[in-house]
Amino acid sequence: MADNKSPDASRRSERSRRAIFEAALALVGEVGYQKTTIEGIAARAGVGKQTIYRWWPSRAAVLLDAYSDLADQAAAAVGEVGAAIPDTGDLAADLRLVLRATVDELVDPTYDVPTRALTAEGVVDAELCAQYVERLLRPSLKLYADRLAASRERGEVRADLDLETAVEMFTGPLSGRWLMRTGPLTHAYADRLVDYALNGLAPR
Residue 2 has pLDDT above 50, yes or no: no
* Sequence ranges of the domains in the chain: 84-199
Using the CB atoms, write b or e for 8-31: b if 16+ within 10 Å. eeeeeeeebbebbbbbbbbbbbee
pLDDT at 9: 67
Query: Which tens digit of pLDDT belongs to each residue from 139-190?
Result: 999 999 999 999 999 999 999 999 999 999 999 999 999 999 999 999 999 9
Query: Which tens digit of pLDDT belongs to each residue from 22-62?
Result: 999 999 888 888 899 999 999 999 999 999 999 999 898 89
- Spell out the residues 6+ positions from residue 136 whose beta carbon is closer than 8 angstroms to its own: 67, 68, 71
Could you give the CA distance from residue 126 to residue 114 in angstroms, rounded to a whole number? 17
164, 133 Cβ separation under 8 angstroms: no
Question: Could you tell me what percent of the chain has a pLDDT over 70?
Answer: 90
pLDDT at 117: 86
- Of 130 and 203, more confident: 130
Question: Could you tell me what percent of the chain has a pLDDT over 90?
Answer: 62
pLDDT at 19: 96
pLDDT at 81: 41
pTM summary value: 0.82
Query: Which tens digit of pLDDT belongs to each residue from 96-149?
Result: 999 999 999 899 988 888 888 888 888 888 888 999 999 989 999 999 999 999
Query: Which tens digit of pLDDT belongs to each residue from 51-83?
Result: 999 999 989 889 999 999 988 877 665 444 446
Q: 149, exposed or middle or buried, with CB in 10 Å at 0-12, 13-18, 19+?
A: middle
The correct CATH number of 84-199 out of 1.10.357.10, 3.40.50.720, 1.10.3720.10, 3.30.70.20 is 1.10.357.10
